[in-house]
A and B are shown apart, each in its own frame.
Chain A
Amino acid sequence: MSSFDEINGPPSVIHPLPTGGPPPLEIHDMTVAYHKKPVLWGIDLVVPQGKLVGIVGPNGAGKSTLIKAVMGILPLSSGWVKIFGASFKSNLHRVGYVPQRESVDWDFPVNVMDVVLMGRYGHLGLMKRPSKRDRDIARECLDKVKMLPYANRQISNLSGGQQQRVFLARALAQESDLYFMDEPFAGVDAATESAIIALLHELKARGKTILVVHHDLPTARNYFDMLLLLNMRVVAFGPTDEVFNYELLQKTYGGRLTILSEVAEAVRQKGA
């Protein structure tokens, strides 16, 4: 894993987390509905600290909805969520977020540095401007995703992979302990993909917990420590080796297994 070493550059300002204490994420009986139609149903989940968790499932399974509901972007119909043993609102600063790349207008009149600085906004008080220290942190985070030379670029002049790295840098600048990432691998180039993986492992090594919505089943097995198989309900949640099997995947993806059977077959052969 030589590419990981490249990323582990200068010592970080983020201090490693002590282990123990309440779990980073605890969800109890969470139901989320759009226009009275349930999208997620009775979700129970306890995510242990320092894990890299992939959230997989078919289209419309509620993967993005799950992380949005946890962060209070969407309202819950029932149930509760605890972040490090307390409500999301009281632990805001311990949560970082990488939204889907398509969720913003990339013609917006800001440059790369402006976007990354937004990661610091949550830490600033009302009416406070980013300080020099905030700028230093933002610059450091840009450097980690190898985007520092692009700091003054307007964001519409970036490729898809570069845009994704800017979003990652912004999340890093949040200096959080728990990260939610919505399809960070969607439509990125190979270099960005390996840069993201390296970054995720670095974060994990520092005791951070990361939940990643992931679309691509074949790579999910290699990327994540734990998998959450989701299809409106939690089909399975556990270490990747235990959960990534034909029966559970079939349960998650249902009738659409024709696409999947080859993958699952490959998995079985690999596992055998």
Chain B
Amino acid sequence: MPMLRKNKAVRAAIFLLGAGLFLLLAPSAQAAKIGDLADLNFADQILRFFSMKDPSVRYALLGSIFLGVSCGLLGSFIVVRKMALVGDTLSHAVLPGVAAGFLWNMSKDPAAIFIGATIAGLLGTAVVSLIKQTTRLKEDTVLGMVLAGFFAVGICMVTMIQHLPTGNKSGIDKFLFGQAAAISEGDVKLMGIVTLLSVAVVLFFYKELLITSFDAGFARAAGFPVQLIHYTLMLLLAFSVVISLQAVGVVLVSAMLITPAAAAYLLTDRMHRMLLLAAGFGMLAGTSRAFFSFLGPSLPTGPFMVLGASVVFALAFFFGPRHGVVMKWWHHRSRADRVQRENTLKSIYHVLEGREFKGEGVSLRELADRRRETIEEVQTQAKDLKRQGLATLHEEGNLIFLTPDGWLRACSIVRNHRLWELYLTNAAQIAADHVHEDAEKIEHVLGEEVVRELERRLQYATKDPHGRPIPSIEDIQRGLAGLSRREDLVGYGKRS
């Protein structure tokens, strides 16, 4: 088991590394196209960026990493608590608070904006719970309504500020879509504090957060303050949203909460790993965004950060080792291949049975007639059987001989089919001419245990509903040679 776990960790690490490289390269390719800083070569750029000599680069990078971590951690809990929409509403609801914080002393004072935004965000969620508790409306409706309402108020206030004499130079519009270059030293300090707080809470109260997220009823019965933990989480969420505003913008900040966590959810089945991965993905998206904004300072950076996170999600979606689309497709394909192979084996058995097991080889023509397919099609199937070691081909590939393994598999699949037909006619009282279709499907998935049980229940019957013999387990293991009831014994087990 520890071996397996290590494998998983290694896989996750490789995945992270790959995603990181991709992310670092993707935006730089973009930047080159946009051609903001085409005169410097790429290696120099990277060197300049990671040396962090430039304070604005340092702030942008640190800030992005901080917000990536705190959004990733809290976002994971939001996702598993099915509260993604709450995060979205909260992030839109902060806008009036941002504007109010700005109006407080007509400047972008981080503290005033932080306080204003947090209050507005919490007010928004409070309005949601108030409407939810006093009316019959369901949560999604209320969330959508409050989100739009608060956001509209915010837009009005921002527009108003921009029309004030000092307003148009304020840069308050940057809160809508984010601007990494606008991050100041004060902002970074605030981000650091909030991130530290988030990490500390998740680290120290992991157990409490886990149990209340998974089973709130049980947690309450076990004496955990479910409501308090919920409110703590909401408060931290509000903090994380507010510190992310400068860099990502009101409109897209919820994506930074949800997307890295969603990608992590696809990649792992354990909460602590999901937290680590989500924080890592958030950091990755943050770093790539900071790097990109360094290459092209005048470009909107929030969208690129979210795009970075979305790329990580897309990679997880397609290439995730367990839930990835590619893996699922692969499994599906290999299953389809197996079914195809088993059907071919079954047809060979039927051909042999049709001539009462006289002569060992089955020609491609016989098989094609039996399967109502072309020679070319059965030829491919025959080659597949050969590759799998289930058959050998003779006379230039025209004659198929089953190997012992192939014979065994052919017998088991025929046995599964006939046992199931008999079971359906006996136990479920289905007419004998209606059971074939069902057996065609089930024969490929019956496990050994179920087959034993079927045999027992059918009292080791030897004939199927159509009167054909059911190959028993002894027959299969003994090979054709042991079938004493047959006259002319043929096949690989032929008596010499």
Contact = CB atoms under 8 A, between A and B. Distances in A.
Interface of A: 68, 71-73, 89, 92, 95, 97, 99, 103-105, 108-111, 114-115, 118, 121-122, 124, 126-130, 152, 154, 170, 174, 180
Contacts of B210: 110, 114, 118
B82 A121 contact: no
Contact of A154 (B218, B221, B222, B269): B269
B223 A89 contact: yes
Given A103-B215, A103-B217, A97 B222 contact: yes
Given A118-B211, A127-B205, A95 B221 contact: yes
A44 B418 CA distance: 61
B473 interface: no
Interface residues of B, number: 27
Contacts of A122: 222-224
Contacts of A111: 269-270
7 contacts: A89-B223, A92-B222, A109-B271, A114-B271, A121-B219, A127-B205, A180-B221
Q: Which of B205, B214, B274 has the most CB of A within 10 A?
A: B214
B203 to A, nearest CB: 9
B220 interface: yes
A115 B214 contact: yes
B80 A109 contact: yes
Nearest to A154: B269
Given A92-B223, A110-B271, A111-B269, A104 B215 contact: yes
- Interface SS of A by simple majority: loop
A118 B218 contact: yes
Q: Which of B220, B223, B265, B269 has the most CB of A within 10 A?
A: B269
A115 B223 CA distance: 17
A104 B214 CA distance: 7
Given A108-B80, A121-B219, A126-B208, 19 more contacts: A68-B217, A71-B221, A72-B220, A73-B221, A89-B223, A92-B222, A95-B221, A97-B217, A103-B217, A108-B213, A108-B214, A109-B273, A111-B270, A114-B210, A121-B207, A121-B208, A121-B211, A121-B224, A154-B269
A244 to B, nearest CB: 29
Contacts of A72: 220-221
Contacts of A108: 80, 213-214, 271
B1 interface: yes
B443 to A, nearest CB: 23
B82 A97 contact: no
Contacts of A73: 217, 220-221
Given A103-B215, A121-B222, A174-B222, A110 B207 contact: no
B268 interface: yes
Given A73-B217, A92-B223, A129 B269 contact: no
Interface in B254-269: 265, 268-269
B218 A110 contact: no
Contacts of B221: 71-73, 95, 97, 180
B270 A110 contact: yes
Contacts of B208: 121, 126
A72 B270 CA distance: 30
Interface in B458-477: none
Interface string B53-84: 00000000000000000000000000010100
A114 B220 CA distance: 18
Interface string B194-217: 000000000011011011011101
Contacts of B268: 109
Contacts of A130: 207
Nearest to B206: A129
Contacts of B273: 109
Nearest to B214: A108
A154 B214 CA distance: 14
A87 to B, nearest CB: 12
A92 B220 CA distance: 10
Contacts of B215: 99, 103-104, 118
A210 to B, nearest CB: 15
A106 to B, nearest CB: 10
Interface of B: 1, 80, 82, 204-205, 207-208, 210-211, 213-215, 217-224, 265, 268-271, 273-274
Contacts of A89: 223
A73 B219 CA distance: 9
Contacts of B271: 108-110, 114
Those 4 A-B pairs whose CB atoms lie nearest each other, nearest first: A122-B222, A154-B269, A92-B223, A71-B221
A109 B265 contact: yes
Contacts of A114: 210, 270-271
Contacts of B219: 121
A68 B213 CA distance: 18
Contacts of A174: 222
A109 B270 contact: yes
Contacts of B222: 92, 97, 118, 121-122, 174
Q: Which of A89, A95, A108, A109 has the most CB of B within 10 A?
A: A109
Nearest to A124: B207
A154 B221 CA distance: 24
Nearest to A171: B218
Contacts of B217: 68, 73, 97, 99, 103
B189 to A, nearest CB: 27
Q: Which of A73, A95, A111 has the most CB of B within 10 A?
A: A73
Given A110-B214, A152-B1, A71 B269 contact: no
A45 to B, nearest CB: 18
Nearest to B213: A108
A111 to B, nearest CB: 7
Nearest to A119: B222
A196 B433 CA distance: 42
A128 B207 CA distance: 8
B468 to A, nearest CB: 34
A121 to B, nearest CB: 5
A108 to B, nearest CB: 5
A127 B269 contact: no
A237 to B, nearest CB: 23
A92 to B, nearest CB: 4
B271 to A, nearest CB: 5
A71 B218 CA distance: 10
Contacts of B265: 109
B263 to A, nearest CB: 13
